[in-house]
Amino acid sequence: MNLALTILIDGVTYASWLFIVALGLTLVFGVLKILNIAHGSFYALGAYVTATLVSLAASWALPPAMSLVAMLLAAVLVAVLVAPLTERGLLRFFYGRDEVLLVLVTYAMFLMMEDLTKLIWGANPYYVSEPYGMFGNIDIGTQTYVGYDFMLVALAVVVGLGVWWGLNRTRFGKIVTAVIHSAEVASSMGIQVSRIYMLAFAVGIFLAALGGAFTAPMLSVQPGLSVGVIIISFAVVIIGGLGSIEGAAIGALIVGVARALAVHVWPVAELFSVYLVMALVLMFRPQGLFQRIQARKI
């Protein structure tokens, strides 16, 4: 019983930050049809900007709670400053071209951003671990957990519900849905598709940066952060179905719990467990768990 509970808690806490990042990836794909390889770079950027802002907050002797505000602000800054620049300055020139070309363009972005972060922040690590201790510890069974991990779970729930509500219960969401179904028809109805693309991309990047900002206190922020994140995020959205919010949530939970089960029961199969689940899902539902089968346009 204790083991099952531990696996469940470990799986859910791992899934929380992963869901936030994967949600951004799936949103960008759903709206812009871009498989954004550079998504992990925006995650890393969120972590770096957080490191800078939290350090600034500490140097100004602001109350510790302000570091949470600084983390949120870091994600907003990345979304507001970097996302429009990337989407308007680069990606829009490749819309309508082969999707493989866009994958290559975002791969080039990933390589450049790795160097860019090193140019700005250098190769030395940054630590912003103070917020990690803000929520105290919680004892459950034989384990001691850090309260911050549960705060991340709550944040993931809020973010997931927020994005779902935004897409399904607001006028903006309906416009985005229209663009997802057919950009051409939406355009003919007077919708500024390019504006929707930019906003959707910014929201996707915000989520990547938010994931980076709120995991930064658990990590040493340094070059190389982006690689692992993008690979595991892809596994999540492929399991859940590209472009599906529910899929990202369930995919993250499946990956988190499968991984936790392997680590506790058969540690050498940790990586294998994630990709085994992915392979099984693809065998029976090649489109992922939550993506509806769509008629191909001719």
Q: Using CB under 8 A, list all residues that contact other proteins.
A: 2-3, 6, 9-11, 13-14, 17, 114-115, 118, 123-125, 127, 129, 132-133, 137, 142-146, 149, 215, 217-220, 222-225, 227-229, 259-260, 263-264, 267-268, 270-271
CB of 259 to other proteins, least distance (A): 7
CB of 268 to other proteins, least distance (A): 6
Q: How far apart are CA 162 and CA 156, in angstroms?
A: 10
98 phi, psi to nearest 5 deg? -55, 135
CB of 57 to other proteins, least distance (A): 18
Q: Which is nearer to other proteins, 211 or 288 (CB)?
A: 211
Q: How far apart are CA 296 and CA 298, in angstroms?
A: 6
CB of 218 to other proteins, least distance (A): 6
Q: Which is nearer to other proteins, 233 or 244 (CB)?
A: 233
Q: Which is nearer to other proteins, 154 or 185 (CB)?
A: 154
The angle, 0 to 180 degrees and rounded to 10, between the axes of the packed helices 39-59 and 66-77 is 140
CB of 5 to other proteins, least distance (A): 10
**Spacing of C-alpha 81 from chain mean position:** 18
Contact status, residue 32 vs residue 26, Cβ threshold 8 Å:
no
Locus of tokens 């911050």: 148
Q: How far apart are CA 199 and CA 80, in angstroms?
A: 10
Neighbours of 284 (CB within 10 A): 7
Q: Which is nearer to other proteins, 10 or 87 (CB)?
A: 10
37: which DSSP letter? T
Q: Which is nearer to other proteins, 2 or 170 (CB)?
A: 2
Contact status, residue 153 vs residue 16, Cβ threshold 8 Å:
yes
CB of 253 to other proteins, least distance (A): 14
Q: How far apart are CA 3 and CA 17, in angstroms?
A: 22
Q: How far apart are CA 137 and CA 127, in angstroms?
A: 20
CB of 76 to other proteins, least distance (A): 24
Contact status, residue 3 vs residue 264, Cβ threshold 8 Å:
yes
- Among 53, 40, 72, smallest CA distance to 155 is for 72
CB of 263 to other proteins, least distance (A): 4
Checking 276-279 for CB contacts under 8 A at 24+ apart, the result is: 277/239, 278/235, 278/238, 278/239
Q: Which is nearer to other proteins, 123 or 283 (CB)?
A: 123
Q: Which is nearer to other proteins, 119 or 295 (CB)?
A: 119
Q: Which is nearer to other proteins, 87 or 149 (CB)?
A: 149
Tokens of 45: 């950027």
Locus of tokens 């199969």: 269
